[in-house]
Structure 1
Amino acid sequence: MTADVAVLGVGMHPWGKWGRSFVEYGAAAARAALADAGLQWRDIGSIVGADTVRGGYPGYVAGATFAKALGWQGARVTSVYAACASGAQAVAAARAQILAGLADVVLVVGADAAPKGFFRPAGGDRPDDPDWLRFRLLGATNPTYFGLYARRRMALFGDTPEDFALVKVKNAALGALNANARYRKRVTAEEVAASQVVADPLRLLDICATSDGGAALVLSSVEFAHRHGVARPVRIRAVSTVTPRYPSTVPDLPDIATDSAAAVEPPSESFRASIARAAYEEAGIGPDELSLAEVYDLSTALELQWYEDLGLCAEGEAAKLLREGATALGGRIPVNASGGLASFGEAVPAQAIAQVCELTWQLRDAAGDRQVAHARVGITANQGLFGHGSSVIAVR
Structure 2
Amino acid sequence: MTGDVAVLGAGMHPWGKWGRRFVEYGVAAARAALTDAGIGWRDVDSIVGAATVRGGYPGYVAGATFAKALGWRGTRVASVYAACASGAQALGTARAQILSGLAEVVLVVGADAAPKGFFRPAGGDRPDDPDWLRFRVLGATNPTYFGLYARRRMALYGDTPEDFAQVKVKNAALGALNPNARYRKRVTAEEVASSAVVADPLRLLDICATSDGGAAVVLAGMEFARRHGAAEPVRIRAVSTVSPRYPNTVLDLPDIATDSAAGAEPAEETFRASIARAAYEEAGIGPEDLSFAEVYDLSTALELQWYEDLGLCGEGEAAKLLREGATALGGRIPVNVSGGLASFGEAVPAQAIAQVCELTWQLRAGAGDRQVTGARVGITANQGLFGHGSSVVAVR
* TM-score w.r.t. length of structure 1: 0.99
CA distance in 2, matches of 1:174, 1:155: 29
SS in 1 for 2:248: coil
Cα distance, 1:256 vs. partner? 3.4
C-alpha separation between the residues in 2 aligned to 1:190 and 1:260? 39
Residues 285-343 of structure 1: CA deviation (Å, up to 9, x unaligned): 00000000000000000000000000000000000000000000000000000000000
The answer as to 2:332 corresponding to 1:332 is yes
Alignment map for 1:260-279 (pairs within 5 Å)? 261-279=261-279
C-alpha deviation, 1:258, in angstroms? 4.7
The answer to whether the 8 Å contact 2:13/2:213 transfers is: yes
Q: CA deviation at 1:128?
A: 1.8
Q: Which runs of 5+ in 1 are unaligned?
A: none
**2:164 counterpart of 1:164:** yes
Structure 1 residues 67-114: Cα deviation after superposition (integer angstroms, max 9, x where no partner): 000000111000000000000000000000000000000000000000
Residues 1:216 and 2:216 aligned together:
yes
What's the offset of the Cα at 1:2? 6.4
Residue in structure 1 matched with residue 204 of structure 2 by the alignment: 204
Partner of residue 357, structure 1: 357
Contact map agreement 1:118 1:210 (CA 8 A) in 2: yes
Q: Cα distance 1:260–1:194, how it changes in 2: closer, same or farther (>3 A)?
A: closer
What secondary structure does 2:262 align onto? helix
Q: Identity over aligned residues, as a percent? A: 88
| Alpha carbons 2:250, 2:257 under 8 Å: kept | no
What CA distance in whole angstroms lies between the structure 2 residues aligned with 1:256 and 1:133?
18
Partner of 1:59: 59
**1:345-373 CA deviation, whole Å, 9 max, x = no partner?**
00000000000000000000000000000
- After TM superposition, give the deviation of residue 125 of structure 1 in Å: 1.1
What is the distance in 2 between the residues matched to 1:78 and 1:362? 28
Task: Return closer, same or farther for 1:190/1:86 CA change in 2, 3 Å cut-off.
Answer: same
Alignment of 1:103-122 (within 5 A): 103-122=103-122
Partners of 1:301 and 1:251 in 2: CA distance: 17
Q: What are the ranges of 5 or more consecutive residues in structure 2 without an aligned counterpart?
A: none
CA distance in structure 2 between the partners assigned to 1:250 and 1:156 by the alignment: 19
- Counterpart Cα distance in 2 of 1:58 and 1:146: 31
Find the aligned partners of 1:292 and 1:260 in 2 and give their Cα distance: 35
Q: What residue in structure 2 maps to residue 49 of structure 1? A: 49
Q: Which amino acid aligns with 1:230?
A: A
What is aligned with 2:293?
293
Kept after mapping to 2: 8 A contact 1:250/1:386: no
Task: Give the match's secondary structure for 1:3.
Answer: coil
Q: 1:277/1:258 Cα in 2 relative to 1: closer, same or farther (>3 Å)?
A: closer
Structure 2 letter corresponding to 1:347: A
Please give the alpha-carbon distance, in whole angstroms, between the structure 1 residues aligned to 2:334 and 2:251: 27
SS in 2 for 1:262: coil
CA contact (8 A) 1:46 1:75 kept: yes
CA drift of 1:262 comes to 2.2
SS of 1:8's partner is strand
> TM-score, normalized by length of structure 2?
0.99
Report the more deviating stretch, 90-99 or 121-130.
121-130
Aligned partners of 2:175, 2:140: CA distance in 1, in Å?
A: 29
CA RMSD of aligned residues (A): 1.0
* Structure-to-structure mapping, 1:120-131, within 5 angstroms: 120-131=120-131
* Mapping 1:95-106, distance limit 5 Å: 95-106=95-106
Runs of 4 or more above 3 Å deviation = none
Distance between the aligned counterparts of 1:342 and 1:220, measured in 2? Answer: 31
**1:253 Cα deviation (Å)?**
1.2
Give, in whole Å, the separation in 2 of the partners of 1:187 and 1:395: 32
Residues 250 and 385 in structure 1, CA contact (< 8 A), matched pair in contact too: no
Secondary structure of the residue aligned to 1:272 is: helix
Once the two structures are superposed, residues 25-65 of structure 1 have per-residue CA deviations (whole angstroms, 9 ceiling, x without a partner) of 00000000000000000100000000000000000000000
